Amino acid sequence: MSPISRGFHRKRADAPADRVPPGQYVTTDFPVLSAGPTPHTALDRWSFSITGGRETKSWTWEEFRALPTETLTTDIHCVTRWSKLDTRWEGVSLDVLLAAVSYDARYALAFSDGGYTTNVPVADLLGGRAWVAFGYGGAPLGAEHGGPARLLVPHLYFWKSAKWVRGLRLRATDEPGFWENYGYHMYGDPWREQRYAGD
């Protein structure tokens, strides 16, 4: 049994319990956590694609930025236990993007520059719960936080909000993405503390 180090403690939550899921603490920082180098894709080479529907649908940056946008303020929760409250984003709703595609798939695999992937049920991308976000805190989303655009699905653990997102592959079955392959939860609801498979 390890000895206790006097006075050492994890960073504590100091926000109302209904804002902070179990096991989380509130931070005012925005930690930069990555599994690989920051990609730098020029906007004139950027595209967002949805495959696996009746036809592949793709938007260039200009076409994407011509779509209706929303601003939102939301809390985000990382599986590494930090939560950040009242984060402000601007993006295009997945309701808008998926409405442009004819499909009957129930699952999606988001894919990003650099090879990162993560899986999300299509139902969790709809109903005003997910965006492709290009703005954070009133400014263009910085590269280290996933710019030019990242997936934003704040009701799930933040590893599902894939940085540097370039599209979705719609699928009939739920296939694990990068971290899910190593045992992270296929769904990832922070309020049910679904960090690992089997939680």
Partner 1 sequence: MAGTAVRGRLTWQTATVAAVMDETPRVRTLLLEMPGWPGRSVGRQRAGQHVDIRLTAEDGYQAERAYSIASAPGEDLAITVERLDDGEVSPYLTEEVRAGDVLEVRGPIGGYFVWENGFGGPLLLVAGGSGVVPLRSILRHRARTGSLVPVRLLYSSRNWADVIYRAELDGLVSGGVEVVYTLTGSQPPGWRGYARRVDARMLAEVAWPAAPSPAGSPSDGPLAYVCGPTSFVESVAAGLVGLGYPAGRVKTERFGATGG
Partner 2 sequence: MSDAALDGNAIGGLLIEVFGAEMTTATGTCASCGAVRQVAELTVYRPGLGTVVRCRSCDAVLMVFVEMRGITCVDLTGLASLGSRLRGYRRLRR
Is 192 a binding residue for partner 2 by CB under 8 A? The answer is no
Task: Select from 24-32, 56-64, 83-91, 190-198 the region that touches partner 1 (CB under 8 A).
Answer: 24-32
Is 11 a binding residue for partner 1 by CB under 8 A? The answer is yes
Q: Distance (Å, rounded) from C-alpha 139 to C-alpha 142? A: 8
CB distance 176 to 119 below 8 Å: yes
The one among 118, 179, 188, 190 contacting partner 2 by CB under 8 A = 179
Provide, rounded to whole angstroms, the least separation between the CB of residue 152 and partner 1: 23
Would you say 25 or 187 has its CB closer to partner 1?
25
Tokens of 175: 């296939």
Q: What angle (nearest 5°) sits at the alpha carbon of residue 74, between those of residues 178 and 109?
A: 25
Provide, rounded to whole angstroms, the least separation between the CB of residue 156 and partner 1: 24
Q: In what helix (H) or strand (E) does residue 63 lie, and over which residues does it extend?
A: helix 61-65
Provide, rounded to whole angstroms, the least separation between the CB of residue 9 and partner 1: 5
Site for partner 2 in 148-167 (CB under 8 A): 159
- The β-bridge relationship of strands 47-51 and 57-60 is antiparallel
